[in-house]
A and B are shown apart, each in its own frame.
Chain A
Amino acid sequence: MARVDISWDPFDPVDPGPCIDVIVTNSRDVISAGRSLGLEYPEPLRMKALLDTGASVTVISRVFAGYCKLFQTSEGSEITAIGATHRCAEHAGSISFPDTGLKGFDPIRIVSAVFAKQRHYACLIGRDILRNWVLNFDGRSRRVTITD
């Protein structure tokens, strides 16, 4: 069991919300099978991810999904955000939380979608991951605590 504190300022209108560093790669089974066939995969990429209780699934920027060469498992799924509906792809990947002790997820479905420019993060941690954690959002002390 790990416990992680994240600082977050709900009083700051430009604070994107509680973010955590993640490493997104292909599932280790994909990498292992692919490398045995001579396929190459990019180095794991560390990025910021927003803890998003409003997201039903975990979502990654399409640009990063492409960079990571995430193994695709579906196409044309629909995702809706503030009234607009977009088509997205689905991938099987791995998400870990460096320097935290939190247990990673491998394999996990990751939806890729086009993110608006100038975002502070490249990934949304959705309820498919959040449901495995105990989260304490303490606005007054400006901290979020994750326990897994």
Chain B
Amino acid sequence: MATNAPFDQELKVFEQHRAEWSNSHAGEYVAIQDETIAGFFTSYADAFRAGLQRFGVRRGFLVKQVWITEPVYVVS
């Protein structure tokens, strides 16, 4: 079920599985809507396309790379 904060539920699912997925899918991208996981993919583009096919465009879905610690993007 969708919540008010964007991706609140999906990020919760991601955090619950982060340690486990960091062992099995490190560096891969996962697509999630609510608690449904579309799968793991080697690129952002593949994960996005799979999410689009599974969930459609009516509501957003999370696409996130699996790392044990959250990367910080750098702009200098």
Contact = CB atoms under 8 A, between A and B. Distances in A.
Interface of A: 27, 29-30, 33-34, 37, 39, 52, 54-57, 59, 71-82, 85, 88-90, 92, 107-109, 111, 113, 124, 126
A109 to B, nearest CB: 5
Which applies to chain A's interface (DSSP): helix, strand, loop or mixed?
Answer: strand
A76 to B, nearest CB: 7
A37 B72 CA distance: 36
A72 B6 contact: yes
Nearest to B5: A75
Nearest to B64: A74
A74 B57 contact: no
Interface of B: 5-7, 11, 44-45, 48-49, 51-52, 56-58, 60-64, 70, 72-76
Which applies to chain B's interface (DSSP): helix, strand, loop or mixed?
Answer: mixed
Contact of B73 (A71, A73, A80): A80
A56 B75 contact: yes
Contacts of B62: 73-74
Contacts of B6: 72, 75, 89
Contacts of B76: 54-55, 81-82
14 contacts: A27-B48, A27-B52, A33-B57, A54-B76, A71-B60, A73-B60, A74-B7, A76-B11, A81-B76, A88-B73, A107-B45, A109-B48, A111-B73, A124-B75
A120 to B, nearest CB: 15
Given A37-B57, A37-B58, A78-B70, A73 B48 contact: yes
A27 B72 CA distance: 25
B61 A73 contact: yes
Contacts of A75: 5-7, 11
A127 to B, nearest CB: 10
Contacts of A52: 75
B73 A57 contact: yes
